[in-house]
Amino acid sequence: MEGLINWATAFWEGLPPALQTVTVTSLQIGLIMVPLILCVAYLTYAERKIIGFIQNRVGPTRVGYRGLLQPFADVGKLLLKEIVVPTNANRYLFVIAPLLSIVPAFATWAVIPFNDRFVLADINAGLLYVLALTSIGVYGIILAGWATNSKYAFLGAMRSAAQIVAYEIAMGFALVGVLMASGSLNLGEIVRAQEGTIFTWFWLPLLPLFIVFFVSGVAETNRAPFDVAEGESEIVAGFHVEYSGMAFAVFFLAEYANMILVSALTATLFLGGWHSPFAGMPVLGDTFLAEPSFFWFALKVSLFLFVFLWLRATFPRYRYDQIMRLGWKVFIPVTLIWIAVEAGMFLLEIGPWAN
């Protein structure tokens, strides 16, 4: 046994340093990706259950105990389905489009800090990286719509492109407010800048930006009430109308991964990431509830995910021109004005950053 361990250490140290880095990083990527994909699977289950309860139904109950194996049954079904490529579709782009939508959804996780220590890539320009990658996700949708060679898919793609470009600007301006408040583009530093009680988190001083950011996030992920790109009552299923089997599953996976991503970003940027809401409260002084930990991050992410599902179950779909109006004429002016207000707060030294 000892010989085996010795041999393993010697083997590891004998590897070239570049190979060591690659191995460690791959393992870390696996450590993030596998739970993430499981979260996506169970998010679909949670969605069906929660919307079921809101609509006075029970949701899936048949597969496994209380339907808990339903996501795996769905994956099995989709795996076995045939992928049909429509006539005159652009075969190459048709296949590459789902990949283009899922790669950015996963790659952005590299800079999300899970707790004080664990983040895959602790880079200085983390926030810019997030913005750049989230803006790439739209290619999958546009190309899927165009390559399918179908009117409905094309309409969905056009709607989605205009919508995402509009809401990205508001999202970017909301982020400007966050980086003004924290003085850093590094997501870990942004969370550390919010240390203190629940009232030093950025949601309170940046309340309008917080709301704009989350609503824009909902719009960017093409979720209800902004899901005109799918709009099943008008254009069937929008950009993925002709996709079946695993190609469809990849789009589905990307949408849910993006939901978790937007929730995680909102939690990191506005709700203090891994910090505890009970920090500094005398009653819970030194239990684990007051400690900053991954638990709090996960709880905040779940909270926003619940809001996503709640919105879907309770709001009717926005009309397309109203979506555009909300993005361009409401959100962008709101963020611009609040950035000016924030600058004024800096000058007058009001707010949590004033010490």
Partner 1 sequence: MTGNLLFFGFAAVLIVAALGVITSRNPVHSAMFLVLAFFTSAALWLLLEAEFLAIVLVLVYVGAVMVLFLFVVMMLDINTERLREGFTRYAPLGVGIALLIVIQIGHVIWFRGADTELVARPEPRPEGYSNTAELGQVLYTEHVYAFELAAVILLLAIVAAISLTMRKRPGLKAQDVARQVAVNPKDRVRIVKMDAEKD
Residues 6 or more apart in contact with residue 289 via CB below 8 angstroms:
276, 278
Nearer to partner 1, 51 or 123 (CB): 123
Nearest 10 degrees: CA dihedral of 258, 261, 266, 271? 150
Question: Using CB under 8 A as the criterion, what x/- string covers residues 9-48 for binding partner 1?
Answer: ---------x------------------------------
Nearer to partner 1, 103 or 299 (CB): 103
**Inter-axis angle of helices 91-107 and 126-136, to 10 degrees?**
150
Least separation in angstroms between CB 330 and partner 1: 10
* Window 214 to 273, contacts with partner 1 (CB under 8 A): none
d(CA 38, CA 166): 32
Would you state the structure tokens that stand for residue 281, as one six-digit string?
Answer: 């409260």
Single out the residue of 244, 239, 243, 245 nearest to residue 222, CA to CA: 239
Contact region for partner 1 (CB under 8 A) — 160-168, 220-228, 257-265, 277-285? 160-168
d(CA 182, CA 133): 21
Residue from 45, 106, 109, 154 binding partner 1 (CB under 8 A): 154
Nearer to partner 1, 157 or 260 (CB): 157
* Window 325 to 344, contacts with partner 1 (CB under 8 A): 325
Residue from 46, 158, 246, 284 binding partner 1 (CB under 8 A): 158
Nearer to partner 1, 158 or 284 (CB): 158
Instruction: Tell me if 123 contacts partner 1 by CB under 8 A.
Output: yes
* Window 175 to 194, contacts with partner 1 (CB under 8 A): 185
Residue from 42, 118, 139, 294 binding partner 1 (CB under 8 A): 139
Q: What sign does the CA torsion over 352, 353, 354, 355 have?
A: positive
Residue from 93, 95, 211, 334 binding partner 1 (CB under 8 A): 93
Asked whether 312 and 223 are in contact (CB, 8 A), the reply is: yes
Nearest 10 degrees: CA dihedral of 348, 351, 352, 355? 20
Length of the chain: 355
Burial label for 118, CB within 10 Å (0-12, 13-18, 19+), is middle
Name the site residues for partner 1 (rule: CB under 8 A). 18, 90, 93, 123-125, 128-129, 131-133, 135-136, 138-139, 142-143, 146, 154, 157-158, 161-162, 164-165, 168, 185, 321, 325
